[in-house]
Amino acid sequence: MGIGELVQQLPQLIGAAVEANPWLGYGAIFAAMFLENLFPPIPSELIMPLGGFYVQQGQLALLPVVVAGLLGTVLGALPWYGIGRLINEQRLEQWLARHGRWIGISPKELHRSRDWFAKYGTALVFWGRLVPGIRTLISVPAGIEMMPIAPFLLWTTAGSLIWTLLLTLAGLALGEGYANVELWIEPVAKAVKLVLVLALAAGAVRLGLRIWKKRRDSH
């Protein structure tokens, strides 16, 4: 089964698990979110809102759905973090140039996530989890930059908790329209990017003012 076919069948697969047993449903959400972090074409914007829909229907409970999605996300982030620590960026880009189309990741996307990490530092591990297209790959530059595992897990868990909770609540609110959550998420993701850019600009302004003040005082 290809990734595209898997994405199309995800609602049916998760639904079948929920119908069989609620705990199988939680396990299916965990597995889907784990795979979503390994293969970005699998959208969390579909998985967690679907969990929220089943919460609305009374077939699942909110807290276990969020916990299942969170655990799958955090554990799914670890392989990319490990790859970043073990393999240098040049080799990884070469591998992605040859095989990246099979997992939906291009060398350009990896390079972009590395640039974001260089600009915004380790806080991006937190904020990056809220931005589709960045959230999965941000684990790679964290590994490349040898970010300690404890802070990586802390910031990844914090950002992922917000992401999974928001998506689940959105599915809970939209009910049968859960599949439209992606349309709601896009402006939120743009807002997060804008906040990151503004924060960087504010930091640059503060640094510039400090340098100017020191030079003025020295004269």
Going from N- to C-terminal start, the domains of the chain cover 3-182
For residue 26, the tally of other CB atoms under 10 A from its CB is 23
Predicted local distance difference test score (pLDDT) of residue 126:
83
Q: Determine the Cα angle at 161 with ends 159 and 163, to 5°.
A: 70
Predicted local distance difference test score (pLDDT) of residue 218:
64
What is the per-residue DSSP string for the chain? --HHHHHHHHHHHHHHHHHH-HHHHHHHHHHHHHHHHHSTTS-HHHHHHHHHHHHHTTSS-HHHHHHHHHHHHHHHHHHHHHHHHHS-HHHHHHHHHHHGGGTT--HHHHHHHHHHHHHHTTHHHHHGGGSTTTTTTTHHHHHHTT--HHHHHHHHHHHHHHHHHHHHHHHHHHGGGGGGHHHHHHHHHHHHHHHHHHHHHHHHHHHHHHHHHHHHHH-
pLDDT tens-digit readout, 129-146: 877 666 777 788 788 777
Averaged pLDDT in 10-residue chunks for the chain of 219 residues: 62 86 93 84 78 90 95 92 75 66 63 66 76 73 81 91 89 70 54 53 58 64
